[in-house]
């Protein structure tokens, strides 16, 4: 008799933290209760309030990342930890550990590489009005530039396949890391899913580390850089159009005067308009060339992604059911 078995996936819960002593203990205990088979990893980012000690006492494996910024922490986590499934959340208690099982189940049943827990009610309780307004604007901007795959690009509650984690070339330093993850998935057209979840309030004594203007500026800069890298034809095409319109604005009165009098009295303006036109053509040409380079890089990233072993079809988060067929026992999830 032969017997094919499903096996429980190796799950790693990743909790990047900075000064979350008030909440991290309860968060770790919550994930240990919700996912008893998972390994809980807390990466402390230079906390000064005892976050690491509280996480360790709650039963988590704790590592310190000295480079300040969530992007540095996530990059280190993805490099250090080997698992079949990765579940990333925040240590501030705003995400319910009980929802982690549903994120993982969605990842497995839809055979996705990333499942994002979109935050229900985040616009009405994002800490400050500026955060809520920024969430709306940046999500609209993302869908305009990179496509309609995601409706909440800043959610920190995500489940990943090993394939995604080990092929993700993270370069961000701070809170822009979630945007970079979303762009990576959209760029390579990876299978993704979203699951709407409740978004909790921070408990007393826990404070947001986000700065509306400072971090908003960093995210906007990251949007521009990612657009330049992933959609250079559009990026440089817009710049080219700006120089083209500027050239035509300077050129129009000079041409009107020339057709009326046969003279070019404003020679410096004419030279400036021609220079702007030449710059427009050069920027447009650069966009064409870089678009081919970007396509080649996307193909290389896709090949690297495919070189990582796909999730085993034997992985199943739920109990299996045994059936007997033709003298052979098979386990069906």
pLDDT in tens, 8-29: 789 999 999 999 999 999 999 9
Residue 322 CA to residue 289 CA, distance in Å, equals 57
What residue ranges do the domains of the chain occupy?
A: 11-130+140-210, 232-304
Alpha-carbon dihedral sign for residues 74, 80, 84, 87 = negative
Phi, psi of 132 (to 5 degrees): -65, -45
What does the block give as tokens for 203? 């408990």
List the alpha helices (DSSP H) in the chain: 24-34, 51-57, 70-80, 100-109, 129-146, 162-165, 177-187, 212-230, 232-261, 267-307
Summarize the confidence of residues 122-136 as an average pLDDT.
62
- Token look-up 């380079």 returns 293
Residue 324 CA to residue 69 CA, distance in Å, equals 54
Residue 249 CA to residue 256 CA, distance in Å, equals 12
Residue-averaged pLDDT of the chain = 85
First vs last Cα of the chain: how many Å apart? 20
Confidence label for 52 from pLDDT (cuts 50, 70 and 90): very high
Phi, psi of 319 (to 5 degrees): -65, 145
pLDDT score recorded for residue 136: 85
Please report how many Cα atoms fall inside a 13 Å half-sphere around the Cα of residue 247, on the Cβ side.
Answer: 16
Residue 165 CA to residue 184 CA, distance in Å, equals 11
pTM of the model: 0.80
pLDDT score recorded for residue 142: 92
Q: Does the pLDDT value for residue 319 go beyond 50?
A: no
Residue 222: alpha-carbon gap to chain centroid: 11
Q: Which of 81-90, 131-140, 141-150 is the least confident region?
A: 131-140
The interaxial angle of helices 232-261 and 212-230, nearest 10 deg, is 80
CA distances from 135 to 74, 127, 128, 173, 218 (A): 21, 12, 11, 19, 14
Confidence label for 158 from pLDDT (cuts 50, 70 and 90): very high
Residue 159 CA to residue 114 CA, distance in Å, equals 6
Q: Which of 161-175, 198-212, 218-232, 234-248 is the least confident region?
A: 198-212
Short-list 118, 193, 206, 135, CA closest to 161: 193
Pairing of the two strands 158-161 and 114-120: antiparallel
Residue 7 CA to residue 12 CA, distance in Å, equals 16
Q: 11-130+140-210 has which CATH code?
A: 3.90.550.10
Residue 76 CA to residue 278 CA, distance in Å, equals 45
Q: Does the pLDDT value for residue 330 go beyond 60?
A: no
How many of the other CB atoms lie within 10 Å of CB of 225?
A: 16
Alpha-carbon dihedral sign for residues 286, 291, 292, 294 = positive
């Amino acid at each position: 008799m032969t017997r094919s078995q499903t096996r429980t996936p190796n799950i790693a819960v990743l909790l990047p933290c900075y000064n979350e002593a008030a909440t991290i203990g309860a968060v770790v205990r919550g994930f240990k209760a919700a996912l008893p088979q998972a390994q809980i990893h807390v990466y402390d980012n230079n906390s000064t309030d005892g976050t690491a000690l509280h996480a360790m006492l709650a039963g988590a494996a704790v590592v310190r990342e000295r480079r300040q910024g969530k992007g540095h922490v996530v990059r280190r986590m993805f490099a250090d930890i080997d698992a079949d499934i990765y579940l990333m959340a925040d240590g501030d208690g705003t995400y319910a550990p009980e929802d982690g099982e549903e994120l993982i189940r969605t990842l497995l049943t839809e055979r996705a590489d990333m499942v994002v827990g979109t935050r229900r009610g985040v616009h009405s309780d994002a800490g400050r009005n500026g955060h809520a307004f920024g969430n709306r604007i940046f999500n609209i901007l993302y869908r305009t530039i990179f496509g309609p795959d995601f409706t909440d690009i800043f959610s920190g509650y995500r489940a990943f396949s090993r394939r995604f984690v080990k092929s993700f070339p993270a370069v961000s330093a701070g809170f822009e890391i979630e945007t970079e993850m979303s762009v990576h998935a959209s760029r390579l057209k990876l299978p993704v899913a979203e699951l709407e979840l409740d978004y909790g309030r921070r408990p007393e004594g826990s404070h947001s580390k986000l700065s509306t203007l400072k971090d908003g500026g960093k995210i906007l800069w990251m949007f521009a850089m990612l657009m330049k890298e992933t959609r250079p034809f559009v990026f440089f095409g817009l710049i080219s159009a700006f120089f083209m319109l500027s050239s035509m604005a300077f050129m129009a009165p000079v041409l009107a005067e020339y057709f009326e009098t046969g003279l070019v009295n404003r020679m410096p303006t004419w030279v400036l308009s021609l220079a702007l036109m030449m710059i427009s053509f050069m920027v447009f040409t650069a966009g064409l060339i870089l678009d081919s380079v970007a396509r080649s890089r996307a193909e290389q990233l896709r090949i690297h992604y495919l070189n990582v072993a796909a999730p085993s079809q034997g992985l199943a988060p739920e109990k299996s059911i045994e059936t007997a067929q033709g003298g052979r026992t098979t386990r069906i999830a």
